[in-house]
Amino acid sequence: MHTETAPYQGRGRRVATLALLLAIAPCAASAAEAPPPYLDTQRSFEQRAADLVSRMTLEEKAAQMQNAAPAIPRLGVPAYDWWNEALHGVARAGGATVFPQAIGMAATFDVPLMHDVSTAISDEARAKHHEALRHDQHARYQGLTFWSPNINIFRDPRWGRGQETYGEDPFLTARMGVTFVQGLQGEGADVPKNARGEAYRKLDATAKHFAVHSGPEADRHHFDAHPSQRDLYETYLPAFEALVKEGKVDSVMGAYNRVFGESASASKFLLRDVLRDSWGFDGYVVSDCWAIVDIWKNHKIVATREEAAALAVKHGTELECGEEYSTLPAAVRKGLISEAEVDKALQKLMYSRMRLGMFDPPEKLAWAQIPISANQSPEHDALARRTARESLVLLKNDGVLPLSRAKIKRIAVIGPTADDTMALLGNYYGTPAAPVTVLQGIREAAPDAEVLYARGADLVEGRDDPAATPLIEPQYLRPSADSPERGLRGEYFRNRDLSGPPALVRTDAQIGFKWDRGSPTDNLLARGEAGPDQAIPADNFSIRWSGKLVPPATGTYHLETAADDGVRLYLDGKRLIDRWSASDRLHADGVDVRLEAGRSYDLRLEYYEGERDAGIRLAWRQPGAKPPLQDALDAARRADVVVFVGGLTGDVEGEEMKVNYPGFAGGDRTDLRLPKPQRDLLEALQGTGKPVVAVLTTGSALAIDWAQQHVPAILLAWYPGQRGGSAVADVLFGDANPGGRLPVTFYKESEKLPAFDDYAMRGRTYRYFAGTALYPFGHGLSYTQFAYSDLRLDRSKLAADGNLHATLKVKNTGQRAGDEVVQLYLHPLSPKRDRATKELRGFQRIALQPGETREVSFAISPQTDLRIYDEARKAYVVDPGDYELQVGASSSDVRVRQRFSVQPSPGAEAKPRK
């Protein structure tokens, strides 16, 4: 969606809790007089919104149409920032449960589970919002309007933001997306209603980025996508259509790029003709952040800010993430847009705020009573672990897995993402209370085994990786000379300059913290290790750690700090490191010093955090430390089994990043293989002769041909969220049976892909790819086996407007309980025109005990499931002819199949699009 580059404007814009009541006072001569219509809960949301807008000045209206909407005290309108994120948990808002990244949730193929996850996310969002209101806070990331999910089609594995999506298939994307939206927005009979019977919304979800947007990241502010009409209507639009028509999504976000020459955030074709006129969307559209700037500055569609703002509003973008809409009053005065058009747009936004209950007493909404204890609750932590387990995809297993606790006494865990929390998180994440890395998960799952750890290699070539240097262990630190404790004394201050009395004093065993957008005390408060009076803000704080350093050996040590933002390190009063300035990332500084074994050195570490991301590390390399590869090989040779943990992290693939390493550019990938340092490490580990299990963290497909040929077991973990390490260990030791499936195709490294910036679908994804994949869409193995039989169709011929019912039996023929994802594909036989080779049109994840048989059924409607877009008629049509219904364990592993034919039915064909 967007990288933050503008100042954080939400802070400091607070409105007193009594603002609404104070605003009413001038409007009423007595207590008996009725409140103004916009505060009258007996009226409809639409009436209230229209009345409120009618009372605003033109300048106030323009300000309310920007994401950082200021307060209007005279009307009792509190400040509100529309910008909130919830891709796989409430993001950028401090402590929150972090579920697997979106691509991992898609790999579960579990629609009910997705609903549970999004409901948990919306519970935490409501709890955090109302807790913020209780403290009179109205900042960014504290609201109820969430710019999730991302339902762009992951058409090319090089796209860095593909991790945010539900994969390459429009049908899977639609099913997961609709369910995610319903869980966020709230649904069902128990949804609270106003006096008119209109349902309130729990949250507003946003379908993004409408509509043809999937890289390259480096060119997203400039490129113009021109897909064919077939590709547009058969690949890029269907998921958005489903979220609008089925999911009733409240908001849609326009993209940065142009589509057919128009800015996607100001496109008459997309926003008027398709979204509103054809699909009947009645919500609001928000621009991607600073996309309105692109209209005049980069796309050069118009010449001025005023023209860009007017064009966007006139074509259907009611809300801007950015500041260009501040020019709307000038645009009105210049005749570029009318005030009535501004009013119409703003009424949609105020309608949304009314429907979210923002102008109503909290007691009217049960959601307002969700306690803050719901945030990061044990139940949500358990759900995160379950979701991570279901997302894991077993790509290969030659009998090494599951591991036997009884037989394995020593395990070597080796690789650059084994103990890296970033490998759990992906992007757009919250701050988990107690993230479990794969290394931690294995240690907890095998308490009787010796677990050896070595990083072995860097994540990528040429990257300054602060996590590469080991933290100073607690046994070498003392809070004071005579203290029996291990660690350093930490003094936490509510300011940036270490001044005044500290709000909190505690002993920290190690200095290795990554708070991101959260506060250092978020998790301490949640665990009861600190009281509310000791709370530290998420920004503008400082910490001083002091104590003794007692090195174990004499020699030259490399002391290293890594901080975001400022840091100073002192040893025996001498300042060794001084970088007391802001940083846009975790920045490492190091110094070599000679230390004597057993001597006690005075150590002081000072740190401050300004805004946004926060983190600090204190690490060292001891004298005589082995080279990383040698350390890894020594550990491997001592072990009974080697678990290699590698792949990617959100540090190298993601959104418009300042990344330029071999194989990576601007957030995207230029090479689908494992980075070279990891390829070399994996080959060296395999060369030890010890059994190797590869666990891969990634948000996108990897070309791992060598590993498929030589490594006996490969488990794909994605970015598995806060309990990812526990979930991986559950599967490695057989406490859980893997059942995840690939939502994307894994190509061979020799495969020549179409040009990244070519939006034609020919040759892309399982639907159009004619070659042999390394791992096909839908692939995933299990520790048990399943047999498919008795596929029956209730008819062999049907009209285009008819329906087809299919049933089959699936049996667990193995010795373990397990989940099978039953997948239904439709394949045209002798098609009259070019079209997808086959398409997923149904799936069910079922759990079966050993020997258990389950009947599975699917309903097929040709008008929905066989439609293609006829460019001449400008309408969806169903081609008569013969088709094959295939059911199996992946797009290429078809177990049973039956033919059927569709008869001509002229009256059933879709009407032309307007």
Query: What does the DSSP assignment read for 80-111?
Result: EE---B-SSSSBSSSB---PPPHHHHHHT--H
What is the rounded CA–CA span in Å between residue 265 and residue 213? 12
pLDDT digits (tens, 9 = 90+) for 443-454: 999 999 999 999
User: What is the pLDDT averaged over residues 241-254?
Assistant: 99
**Mean pLDDT over all residues of the chain?**
95
**What's the pLDDT score for residue 7?**
38
Q: Please state at what angle helix 45-54 crosses helix 339-355, rounded to 10 degrees.
A: 130
Q: What are the pLDDT digits (tens) for 94-124?
A: 899 999 999 999 999 999 999 999 999 999 9
pLDDT tens by residue, 761-781: 999 999 999 999 999 999 999
CA–CA dist 394, 401 (Å, integer): 10
Q: Between the CA of residue 367 and those of 113, 185, 198, what are the distances in Å? A: 21, 11, 16
Is the pLDDT at 1 greater than 70, yes or no? no
Residues 749-764: what's their mean pLDDT? 96
Which residue in 288, 320, 751, 865 is the catalytic one? 288
For residue range 675-721, list pLDDT tens digits in order: 999 999 999 999 999 999 999 999 999 999 999 999 999 999 999 99
Structure confidence at residue 2 as a pLDDT band (50, 70, 90): low
Is residue 14 very low, low, confident or very high in pLDDT (cuts 50, 70, 90)? Answer: very low
Would residue 855 show up in a list of annotated catalytic residues for this protein? no
| pLDDT at residue 20, as a whole number | 45
Where do the H-state alpha helices sit in 250-338? Answer: 291-297, 305-315, 328-333
Q: Which of 653, 656, 820, 865 is catalytic?
A: 653
**pLDDT band at residue 27, thresholds of 50, 70 and 90?**
very low
Mean pLDDT confidence for 13-34: 45
pLDDT in tens, 862-904: 999 999 999 999 999 999 999 999 999 999 999 999 999 999 8
pLDDT of residue 512: 94
757 is catalytic: no
- What's the chain's length in residues? 914
Report the pLDDT averaged over residues 239-253: 99
Q: Say if residue 4's pLDDT is above 80.
A: no
What are the start-end ranges of the E strands in 268-383?
Answer: 284-286
pLDDT tens profile 301-352: 999 999 999 999 999 999 999 999 999 999 999 999 999 999 999 999 999 9
Tell which residue, 110, 103, 55, 99, has the closest CA to residue 77: 55
- Terminal-to-terminal C-alpha distance of the chain: 30
DSSP 200-235: P-S-B-EEEEESS----GGGTTT-EE---HHHIIII
Per DSSP, the residues of 469-517 read SPBPPGGGEESSTT-SS-SEEEEEESSSS--SS-SEEEEESS-EEEEET
Percent of the chain whose predicted confidence (pLDDT) is above 90: 90
Distance CA 270, CA 283 (A): 14
Q: Return the pLDDT at 30.
A: 42
The rounded distance, in Å, linking the Cα atoms of 58 and 333 is: 10
Per-residue pLDDT, 906: 64
Per-residue model confidence (pLDDT) at position 13: 39
Structural domains of the chain, with CATH: 19-373 (3.20.20.300), 391-462+627-768 (3.40.50.1700), 467-621 (2.60.120.380), 786-908 (2.60.40.10)
Q: In what order do the strands lie in the sheet with 853-860?
A: 786-793, 804-812, 853-860
Kindly report, residue by residue over 350-365, the tens digit of the pLDDT: 999 999 999 999 988 9
Two tokens, residue 830: 């002798």
| 909 pLDDT above the threshold of 90 | no
Residue 831 preceded by cis peptide, ω within 30: no
pLDDT at 847: 99
Q: What is the pTM of this model?
A: 0.93
- Does position 912 have pLDDT exceeding 60, yes or no? no
Q: Which residue matches tokens 């790509």?
A: 395
Q: Which of 825, 803, 821 shows the shortest CA–CA distance to 898?
A: 825
pLDDT(34) > 90: no
Read out DSSP for 35-88?
Answer: PPGGG-TTS-HHHHHHHHHHTS-HHHHHHHTBSEEPPBGGGTB--EE---B-SS
Q: What CA–CA distances, in Å, run from 622 to 1, 397, 576?
A: 43, 38, 17
pLDDT at 10 over 50: no
DSSP 700: S
Query: For 142-178, what is each residue's pLDDT tens digit?
Result: 999 999 999 999 999 999 999 999 999 999 999 999 9
CA dihedral 907, 908, 913, 914 (to 10 degrees): 40
